[in-house]
Amino acid sequence: MRLDPLFTDHMVLEAHKPIRIFGAGSGHVRVRIEGDTAEADAPGPDWCVTLPARSPGGPYAVEIDLSGQKISLQDVYVGDVYLLAGQSNMQFKLSESSCPRDAWRDRPLLRAFSLSRPEPGEPFTPEDGWQVCARDNAGGISAIGYHLGELCEGGRAVGIIQCYQGASIIESWLPQSLADQPEFAVPIEDKHIDHTWPDYGVFNRSGYLYDHMFMKLPPLSIGAVVWYQGESDTTPAEARIYDKELSALIARWRDDLHDPFLPFVIVQIADYDQRNDEGWRALQAAQKKAAASIPGAYLAVSRDVCESDRIHPPTKQRLSRRIADILKSLRGCP
């Protein structure tokens, strides 16, 4: 039996939702978190035990017995877990941003876990486990993730799961069976160049990032998804169906995560001076339409708080504050 790679020292578990601990193999599993215990006989190939929801707190030790193999996870907190998903503006690191290095801080209650990207060069991998944010590693964290932790902390732990791939198209984040439905069909000549760019051929295929990144997470409980994607779908033809594709994605991710009311914060792509055209504006409108029509979806407008002279605006603090205000309102914080 083995424990899923998501579960390491320093991790953050979502507060006020069922705590699911899972892995692979068959046998008897027993999990204990400070007075709460769950166990099960697992026939394989996978196992999952569920402990009751807890209020924010920690640090805790999580004791796991896998048919006699004992594992102890240390410095585990219960707090707010946010899935940061999308493409390059979510991937954009603190070290690339306008936030000066002397402003970076040790943030012991901010922890980050990075899923494996198809491209090399990500500072952290799943093998590194959950990283406690410190001045010497903060530069490798998503700039939005760092600032969200800074703004959302409020005395409780914040865990960010980094699930992004620059230049990714929305079809890659959908299951192939959904992405290839006739209602989402667009002639290849009417699609953004990122769909066919040779360097992106590995991951910009229907269902690829859904299978190889997102599906590494279920059935983990999370608090909300922050979705920042769309620049690679900015043709008029793609924009006409984007809100429907995003609706299908949200419904499927909620189903996979066993959370029908999971909040989604949709970050509207920023203005970009070189693409002040019909397709770009139509994609922004489609994101606004999706947020207005999907229950539990919220729009974070970026156009008035980000630079428009480059596709990767380096200032992320003000946009992060806007996202954080939405997240804090969802948990009833001022």
Instruction: Determine phi and psi for 211, rounding to 5 degrees.
Output: -70, -45
Cα distance between residue 161 and residue 225, in whole Å: 10
- Structure-token match 């690679």, residue found: 232
Would you state the torsion angle of the CA atoms of residues 175, 177, 183, 185, taken in this order, to the nearest 10 degrees? 80
Write down the pTM of the prediction: 0.97
Predicted pLDDT of residue 121:
86
Cα distance between residue 231 and residue 5, in whole Å: 31
Predicted pLDDT of residue 331:
81
Q: 37 has which bridge partners?
A: 32
Predicted pLDDT of residue 236:
98
Cα distance between residue 128 and residue 122, in whole Å: 11
CB 50 within 8 A of CB 22: no
In tens digits, the chain (334 residues) has pLDDT values of: 999 999 999 999 999 999 999 999 999 999 999 989 999 999 999 999 999 999 999 999 999 999 999 999 999 999 999 999 999 999 999 999 999 999 999 999 999 999 999 998 899 999 999 999 999 999 999 999 999 998 887 789 999 999 999 999 999 999 999 999 999 999 999 999 999 999 999 999 999 999 999 999 999 999 999 999 999 999 999 999 999 999 999 999 999 999 999 999 999 999 999 999 999 999 999 999 999 999 999 999 999 999 999 999 999 999 999 999 999 998 876 5
Query: Exposed, middle or buried: residue 20 (CB in 10 Å: 0-12, 13-18, 19+)?
Result: buried
Residue whose C-alpha is closest to residue 266's, from 239, 291, 303: 291
Predicted pLDDT of residue 332:
72
Predicted pLDDT of residue 333:
61
CA distances from 29 to 10, 91, 114 (A): 21, 36, 26
Written as one letter, the residue type at 82 is Y
Cα distance between residue 80 and residue 224, in whole Å: 9
CB 256 within 8 A of CB 178: no
Mind listing the domains of the chain with CATH numbers? 2-77 (2.60.40), 78-330 (3.40.50.1110)
Contacts of residue 89, defined as CB under 8 A and 6 or more positions apart, other chains included, come to: 144, 228, 231, 267, 269, 270, 311, 312, 313
Angle subtended by helix axes 317-330 and 143-152, to nearest 10:
50
